Amino acid sequence: MRCRRSSRARETSRRWTVPPIEARGRALGTRRSAHGGSDCQRAVRHSHSMTTAIFGRDDWIARLRDDVSRTVASHGGLVMVSGEAGIGKTTLIGASIEHARSLGALAAVGTCSSSQGTPMLWPWIQAFRALQRALGPTEFDALSAEVGLDPTELAAFDDRGGVEFTFFDAVATLLATISHRHPLVVVIEDLHWADVTSVQLLEFLSRHTWFERILVIGTYRDTEIDPGREAHRALSALMPQAGSIQLAGLELEAVGALVQRVTGQRPPASFVQRLHHRSGGNPFFVEQTARLWASGHGEQALTPGVTDAVRSRLRPLPPQALAVLQTAAVVENPTTLRVLAAVAGLSVDDCSSALAAALAARLLRTTNESTYEFVHDLVRETVLTDLDSATEARLHAAVVNALDDHPQAVLPGQAADHALRAGDLIDSERTVDLLIAAGRDANSHLDLRASIDFYRRAAALTSDPERRTLIRLDLAGEMHFAATLNRSPRADALALMTEVLDEATRHSTVTAARVALGLHSYSEVDRDRVRALLRSSAASLLPSPLPDADDELYRAVVEHLAEIARADADYESLSTMLSVHHAVLWRAGKAAERQRVVAELQTVARRHGDRTTEQFAASLLWVTMLEQNDPGYLEQYRAFAALAARYQTPIFAASEHIDGALIAGFRGRFDEAWERSARAEEVLPQEHAFGWALRYLHWVLHLRRGDFDQARHALSLLADSAFDYDVLSAAQAAEEGRHRDAAVLLERVDENDEGVPRILYDRVLALVAAGTGHGELLARARERMAQWSGTWSVDLYGMDLGGPIDLYLGLLDAAAGEQDRAVGFLERATRQAEHLSSPYWAATAQLALIEALPADDPRRATVRETLMPLLAELDVPGLERRTKALVEGSSSAAPASRLDGNAFCRQGATWQLTWDGHSVTLPHAKGLGDLHTLIAAPGSEIASTTLLNPHRDPQADAAMRFGGDAVLDDTARQQYRARLTQLDELLDAAGLAGDVERRDALLAEREALIDELRAATRLGGRSRRLGDETERARKTVTARIRDALRKIEGVHPALGEHLRASVNTGTFCSYRPSDPVTWRLH
């Protein structure tokens, strides 16, 4: 049966004999894309073989090859390939067609068109033309006649009722008939432009030719599907019946390979990284950008093809969605719904609807943090290119204004840039404020070039001469810091400081005083001029008489200027004055006052968004609390750690680890201290100027443990420190017991006291006086320290934690023969150490107490019973040597005695070991406990993770040994940090409300979260994986067991020899004696 012919069919029948040029191209499977090129043509041009030009699509190529092979052998089906323009759909289909033809199948391609006046069923017309050419007119016409179909009916088909099914059935029958002779692959491209009848025919064929050797492949841009169009609704309804291939951007490696193929040169890895991010891996965008880059146009250039492709996706958007995209392009960062709504001037509901349209068009995407970002930067760049200058300036100004309600919407440097781009729409002094904030932020990231640039711009922009001078003062400080790091010439900084000093004399006394305070710490500047400027300013600011001592004058001026800043609500000036005030107050006995200053400093910094100063103040607060014997120092340190974890500021990430190492060493946890030190070294900037903190930390840790050789080496690395090296050398000598050498060094320090850390000096003086018994030194040391009884020796902003002052007073009194007073001080020092959870200093004080008590005093035995378990836990060789020499001159092991049977038994703080009839006693050590566990299970392999954590849940232990997953994934990590931010806000509210119970509960939760984050983080902030714990356990347990074996060999060589031959260590440990051994283990 033939379908009805119309006059239109007769008029167009000649096209079947001589196809138009456009139809010829499309019948061959090539097409014009929106950007003016053909994907297949590009694929053919760039490769001698279709598959060699396809990068990063191996899985999808294999999938379509399998579909083609199945069609040739058995039956076909329907496959839908989707993706944005230029993603490589046609290139992928071209590879499949090539494979089909190599297997003897026929391939016919039709492409939908977006042109107006395109006839109905246009892609099918092209496909049948291709079949006619492939089969030849004679065979094709014969087969068409056999099924009663005149192919010219497609060009004249109308969808008036009654003929659609009959016509569709005739088409399906014709294709099935052809497939009986030749397997058939039919490709319909660009279905997003298809008429509804073409989609309905596709759906009909997919249901009625499923078991024929016909593979139908459709392609469409999923970014351009509009549910409001009937054809698109029909296309969506078809999806469940089809196999689906959704093409995404190429991976980084494939982008690099494609660039090399296109340009003929190996691109730099950094360029590939940026191009991958910018293009989203879209092959067409990659090719276009790579060609421009290779021809010398730079990597930021945009080709007309790229911009046209993006614009074709922007045109269908409603105006409000386009406005939100423009807003997002200007904001730049991944940002939230509320920020976008505020900047765009829309309600949250309207903005949400506009974002939904942009998401559906695959122009934006959401992140794990519920923010919105562009799918790739080329979309953003195209949107920005189309913005007129007035609209762009208005949006930049809107971003700045939105900061009032959303201060974290953009980074400080970006906020300053928005203000500059907004021009006259933002008040110039507001722009200056943002430039200064950007300078501070850049400083915290050690980006001093950017920091200097921000301060220069601020100084040039402000219209206030006095403010300009103060900004130039900060600029000079940044330049001097950069010179210290060998990043810029020092002479430039000093020249600017001199200019600022000259300018200050022409300004108000307040500005002059601030300049003098800012310059007084720079020794290269004319000190007499600075001092004179401060005194002349103070004469106008302060009542007479002025303090004679410079330090007292500085303090009085700072306090006065701070009061002025408070009254004016000038938080920037107040922050500066409080920082200077803290520095002026750094001496013994001022901890309580310093605590009040830094607490206010932290509040002020938080109020005006100065994250650097906020963290600095938090790090100083725990130091002042420890100095005052306040056990809350640990909680305050954790609060600082929370800020460092939240803000991720590089210098404070290192500082948090250094502080953690200092506290761990203070408490006698030296393994933890060295681990935290290693983490700090990973993230600390490489400049030598920053290394002194680590070098000082290493020296202190070696000195505290009594590893004097290592301490001397660490000390040699501090020879170029900013403070007096002789006082450090004196401390080393005094700790080693070389008191006369230390006394000589202190005499040299006395001759030139410039830059001497006075609190450290007083402590060394006390050790020298007590060690030499010199009456004059004893009196001098006691006079300097007595007034600080009950506090702790803390210097160098917390880098030097030197023990309780009462410990040194006790040593002085013992050396002076004041036994009762010495015992009282040393007992108080012990209690203070226990109060601050410091077993190390408790043991140190107890050992000094034993030394101070007469040999026949029964309290010696009592103190010794408390001391020995502490020493067993601490692993401090220096204290162990002193104890060994003190307690009756005996070794830590009891004399061997003859006993029957073999035993490995713990008795309180000691172990009794018997082998071959000889018994010894050793103080408890974890390695001995490990050996006991292994001996109790001879022949069994016990995981090192089990020995390290014997009470761990078995399933968790198995996961630790065999798992490699991250302890916390990215989502969990973000949730933890979000909760930390929320907890800080809740803590502020609880503090204001005076709700102590609520505050304590929130503090406990925050501490737990911080511990979890720290446990999940490796060196340099990388995620810790479960497998890392296994390696750490192996190293720790192996070291513990080896140390225990060395101790056993020292007192019982025969037992040591047996155990060393029988014990295996590693990831799994075991005890495997050559002959069975019977042990008594309890």
Least confident range from 225-239, 262-276, 491-505, 1021-1035: namely 1021-1035
Q: What does 227-248 look like in DSSP terms, one character per residue?
A: TTSHHHHHHHHHGGGSEEEE--
Least confident range from 148-152, 224-228, 699-703, 1026-1030: namely 1026-1030
The conformational region for residue 335 under phi > 0 = left, psi -120 to 50 = alpha, else beta, is: beta
| 523-581 per-position pLDDT tens digit | 888 989 988 998 999 898 888 888 888 778 888 888 888 888 888 888 888 888 888 88
pLDDT at 592 over 70: yes
Whole-number pLDDT of residue 621:
92
Q: What are phi and psi of 706, to 5 degrees?
A: 85, 20
Q: Give the list of residues 6+ apart from residue 912 with CB closer than 8 angstroms, or none.
A: 903, 905, 906, 919, 920, 921
pLDDT at 464 over 90: yes
Kindly report the average pLDDT of the chain as a whole number: 81
Q: How many CB atoms lie within 10 A of CB 912?
A: 16
- How far is CA 605 from each of CA 570, 596, 690, rounded to the nearest angstrom? 12, 14, 24
Nearest to 720 by CA among 484, 489, 547, 911: 484
The CATH architecture one would assign to domain 7-246 is 3-Layer(aba) Sandwich (3.40)
Give residue 892's pLDDT band: very low, low, confident or very high (50, 70, 90): very low
Q: What are phi and psi of 1044, to 5 degrees?
A: -65, -40
Q: What is the mean pLDDT of residues 784-793?
A: 92
CB 530 within 8 A of CB 505: no
Q: What is the mean pLDDT of residues 589-599?
A: 88
Residues of the chain with CATH 3.40.50.300: 7-246
What is the C-alpha to C-alpha distance for residues 1029 and 887, in angstroms, rounded to an integer?
A: 40
pLDDT at 293 over 80: no
Give residue 158's pLDDT band: very low, low, confident or very high (50, 70, 90): low
Exposed / middle / buried, residue 952 (Cβ in 10 Å: 0-12, 13-18, 19+): middle
Q: Which amino acid is at 951?
A: H
DSSP label of 306: H
DSSP label of 2: P
pLDDT at 157 over 70: no
Percent of the chain with pLDDT over 90: 27
Q: What does 76-145 look like in DSSP terms, one character per residue?
A: -EEEEEE--TTSSHHHHHHHHHHHHHHTT-EEEEEE---STTPPTTHHHHHHHHHHHHHH-HHHHHHHHH
pLDDT at 661 over 90: yes
pLDDT at 235 over 50: yes
Q: Give the list of residues 6+ apart from residue 747 with CB closer than 8 angstroms, or none.
A: none
**Tokens, residue 682:** 């990973």
What is the C-alpha to C-alpha distance for residues 176 and 184, in angstroms, rounded to an integer?
A: 9
What is the C-alpha to C-alpha distance for residues 677 and 669, in angstroms, rounded to an integer?
A: 12
Give residue 302's pLDDT band: very low, low, confident or very high (50, 70, 90): low
| 852-877 per-position pLDDT tens digit | 888 778 888 888 888 888 888 887 88
Percent of the chain with pLDDT over 70: 83
Residue in the structure block whose two tokens are 């005076």: 994
pTM of the model: 0.60
The conformational region for residue 411 under phi > 0 = left, psi -120 to 50 = alpha, else beta, is: beta
**Tokens, residue 1005:** 């939760």
CB 807 within 8 A of CB 827: no
Q: Give the list of residues 6+ apart from residue 570 with CB closer than 8 angstroms, or none.
A: 564
What is the C-alpha to C-alpha distance for residues 237 and 203, in angstroms, rounded to an integer?
A: 9
Q: Which residues pair with 1071 in a beta bridge?
A: 1063
Give residue 587's pLDDT band: very low, low, confident or very high (50, 70, 90): confident
CB 807 within 8 A of CB 826: yes
Q: How many CB atoms lie within 10 A of CB 270?
A: 8
Whole-number pLDDT of residue 951:
54
Question: Comparing 847 with 894, which gets the higher pLDDT?
Answer: 847
pLDDT at 393 over 90: yes
| 993-1003 per-position pLDDT tens digit | 666 666 667 77
pLDDT at 718 over 90: no
Whole-number pLDDT of residue 687:
59
Taking the C-alpha atoms of 58, 64, 65 and 66 in order, what is their torsion angle to the nearest 10 degrees? Answer: 110
Residue 792, SS3 per DSSP? strand
What is the C-alpha to C-alpha distance for residues 900 and 580, in angstroms, rounded to an integer?
A: 72
Residue 685, SS3 per DSSP? coil
Question: Comparing 295 with 596, which gets the higher pLDDT?
Answer: 596
pLDDT at 890 over 70: no
What is the C-alpha to C-alpha distance for residues 176 and 144, in angstroms, rounded to an integer?
A: 11
Least confident range from 216-220, 605-609, 811-815, 1006-1010: namely 1006-1010
The CATH architecture one would assign to domain 897-947+1033-1080 is Orthogonal Bundle (1.10)
Q: Give the list of residues 6+ apart from residue 503 with CB closer than 8 angstroms, or none.
A: 469, 472, 515
Residue 695, SS3 per DSSP? helix
What sign has the CA pseudo-torsion 371, 376, 381, 384? Answer: negative
Whole-number pLDDT of residue 969:
60
CB 913 within 8 A of CB 1055: yes
Residues of the chain with CATH 1.10.10: 897-947+1033-1080
* CA distance from start to end of the chain: 101
CA 1016 to chain centroid, in Å, comes to 12
| 435-448 per-position pLDDT tens digit | 999 998 888 777 88
